[in-house]
Amino acid sequence: MRLVIIESPYAGDIEANTAYARAAMWDCLERGEAPFASHLLYTQVGVLDDSDPIQRQRGIEAGLLWGKFAEATIVYTDRGISAGMHQGIDRAVAEGRLVVYRSISVPLAPPQQHGVRTSDLIQALSRLAGNRHSDGVSSLVSSEDRGAIINGCYDLMISSRQATAPQVVGSQALLDVAGERRRQVEAEGWTPEHDDQHMDASMALAAGSYCESAARPSILARKPGAAFAIPKLWPQSWSRDWWKPKSPREDLVRAAALIIAEIERLDRAAATEATE
């Protein structure tokens, strides 16, 4: 069993967050891992008072020190990424520890007011695609932008289904995104080693292209006897033959899988940089 540190929210809705952290512990154990969740240990009655900022920070720091013995930091994202979780992610990256993002099938808290975190998502993606060094290489994504992307995607998913029954992570949409990511790796050969070569933010740009196709299908639709129109965001380093839009839903699934691939690439790059 590999030793792992769990990052999940605690402050706020403590009862729901505690139940979620316990579910995360179970998920790790089911995967053959030995998890440690400091926010379940130190917040017990008679140990530390999480409502006291000084005691809360003391507990966070104690948990981070245990991270030195872990092989990976597992970030459970269903309920968003808190400030304390950002500290854990940043520490893991600084220490060169693998960071893995996961979700599990448990009820989610309602999303924030519509448009708030969605706006943060749009801004984060814009920075990811546009903030480049003079040599054309994309800058590393910040922990704040990483959280904005995850939280924003979650809110978009929930908002689009508000007329239906309450959603849980593990919905068909998320399963399809996971399946597409797996197809990219197994069928297309887009392994982590392959993805690491795309240092020009091309995967983020390709994701943006498929989002544009889903949002404006009539504009980018294929004309009879003509090739598909190529979005302006489409990466110049990629062949035009790779652009194969489908239905709006299928394009969004591919966009989400590409965003995940780009975030994972950025995390690997940050971990490598921290160890050099």
Question: What is the average per-residue pLDDT within 149-175?
Answer: 55
Give tens-digit pLDDT for 93-138: 888 888 888 887 544 444 444 444 455 555 555 555 555 444 444 4
For 105, phi then psi, to 5°, come to -85, 85
Beta bridge partners of 259: none
Q: Is 165 exposed, middle or buried (0-12, 13-18, 19+ CB in 10 A)?
A: exposed
Domain coordinates in residue numbering, the chain: 2-102, 116-275
- Give the rounded distance of the alpha carbon of 20 from its chain centre: 18
Tens of pLDDT, residues 28-47: 988 889 999 888 888 877 77
Express each pLDDT in 43-95 by its tens digit.
877 777 767 888 878 877 787 778 788 899 999 988 888 888 888 888 888 88
Whether 263 shows a pLDDT value over 80: the answer reads yes
Residue 4 pLDDT: 92
CATH 2.130.10.10 describes domain 2-102 = no
Instruction: Report the range of poorest mean pLDDT among 21-25, 113-117, 248-252.
Output: 113-117
Q: Which two tokens stand for residue 266?
A: 């950025």
* Residue 255 pLDDT class (50, 70, 90 cuts): very high
Sort strands 72-76 and 33-36 into parallel, antiparallel or unpaired.
unpaired
pTM to 2 decimal places: 0.41
Q: What is the pLDDT of residue 131?
A: 52
- How far is it, in rounded angstroms, from Cα 51 to Cα 154? 27
One-letter amino acid at 207 equals A
Count each helix (H run) and each strand (E run) in the chain, helices first.
Answer: 11, 4
- pLDDT for 206: 92
